[in-house]
Structure 1
Amino acid sequence: MKKKRSTKDMYQSQMFGNSRVSISIPNDLLRDVTELARQKKTSRSIILNESTQLGFREVAVRFAIEEYQRGHISVGRAAEISGLGLAEFMEEMKKHGITPRYDEESSTKEIVDE
């Protein structure tokens, strides 16, 4: 039997333009999500939505850093992919122990821009 969506869930879906998807998650994770939702007095959907957003941001940052390290993209493009501003992305790189690489072209551009 399908569980009826709460008014709050329907409202959030309309307000934020959410789409519905179906995923499989491990039973122990579902128990944790259910318990956290109970403690926060909210729905599992909201907990999963928040978790997905936080997790996605981390996945995007890691991917951008990996592509930058491989030399496939510039630091500016990596910042775009990560969804962060350039300064924020540079901080993330620092947290991961990565220093930006400077080539002749970008060094010249920086000098000209100053």
Structure 2
Amino acid sequence: MESAMPEGFRDFLGPKPERELVLLAAIELYREEKLSLGKAAEFAGLSVREFLYELRKRGVPLNYTREEAEEDLKTVEGLE
């Protein structure tokens, strides 16, 4: 059964338009900080690594503050 997508949108969205729409939604929810990186990747049906690749490919900056980076460094240093 064909989806009710307007003519021409299928070409714009690629061979798997439904998958692309879900990915775009996940990216936007991540950009708006409504989903974490991990949850957005899960929503998109991708691994975190794959989702990071998609963000980079599309020029979407990471939601990662200096404070979070410092906290992560403390955590890593505590593991040594």
Shorter-normalised TM range:
0.5 to 0.7
Structure 1 unaligned segments of length 5 or more: list them. 1-20, 30-50
Separation (CA, whole Å) in 1 of partners of 2:17 and 2:58: 17
1:32-86 C-alpha deviation (Å, 9 max, x unpaired): xxxxxxxxxxxxxxxxxxx5xx222211110000001111111111100000000
Letter of the aligned partner of 1:100 in structure 2?
L
Aligned CA RMSD, in angstroms, stands at 2.6
Match of 2:64 in 1: 102
Structure 2 unaligned segments of length 5 or more: list them. 9-14
* TM-score in terms of structure 2 length: 0.66
Map 1:21-36 onto structure 2 (within 5 A): none
State how many pairs are aligned: 68
Q: Which has the larger radius of gyration?
A: 1
Match of 2:12 in 1: none
Q: Which has the higher contact order (CA 8 A, sep 6+)?
A: 2
Deviation at 1:23, TM superposition (A): 5.3
* TM-score in terms of structure 1 length: 0.49
Find out whether 1:81 has 2:17 as its counterpart: no
